[in-house]
Structure 1
């Protein structure tokens, strides 16, 4: 049983300026803002709220990002698939390495679930370590019917 408390955040908090890289902006003067909602203990995953005003820009992803759109809309293209318009309630996954073209007609607000990816060899080693740890826990746990948890 975990003794770590849950952390709750609201998506309506104060947002701070988070300017888009000027060379990525293709049209308009989009103003972006964000605020951090949570961060994992290993600092490899975090959640934030982000919003942006009208404009066209590209975004270069150096992380995996899962987006849940809260308000407004954005038409997004990855240069491979046809552009698609995302609205409140839609969910989108964008992998690290992608370059997406965003067109925000008036306003968009999203929750972003971000994850810094690890090299494959490190991810495999971590999975193997966790599997061994889980097996060791099972072997050391008391068993029902094995005499350890029998009623007196």
Structure 2
């Protein structure tokens, strides 16, 4: 398995993976997640060309995309209230195909994000994990991620 930057020819595989993520979220929280697409193919192509974002894929020996991670660098500037200025890498999306789970692709993708973050002067790597997906939470915890804050709600 290899982890590499995503390229435009990966867009169909990325769309399929994003559909798997959307289906999981829609099933768990249909009041928040409509069944649909996060990005159109043209939007994904633009995203891949955006130098401020990181999009990696894990591929097998035949070049089949097993999973992806999408992240973006975020910065808290000097003088932002009481926050310490810092740079973080925010993981917006991680998905390993149903067929490839449990074989290390997710771990390889997240470790590659951490390496990129270190090389680019980031203080940390952050992400949101929905409680509707306990498997994802367990995965991130196995990698050493810990709860930083809680986002709570009451549905009216």
| TM-score, normalised by the number of residues in structure 1 | 0.28
| TM-score, normalised by the number of residues in structure 2 | 0.28
Rg larger in structure:
1
| Structure with a larger share of its residues in helix | 2
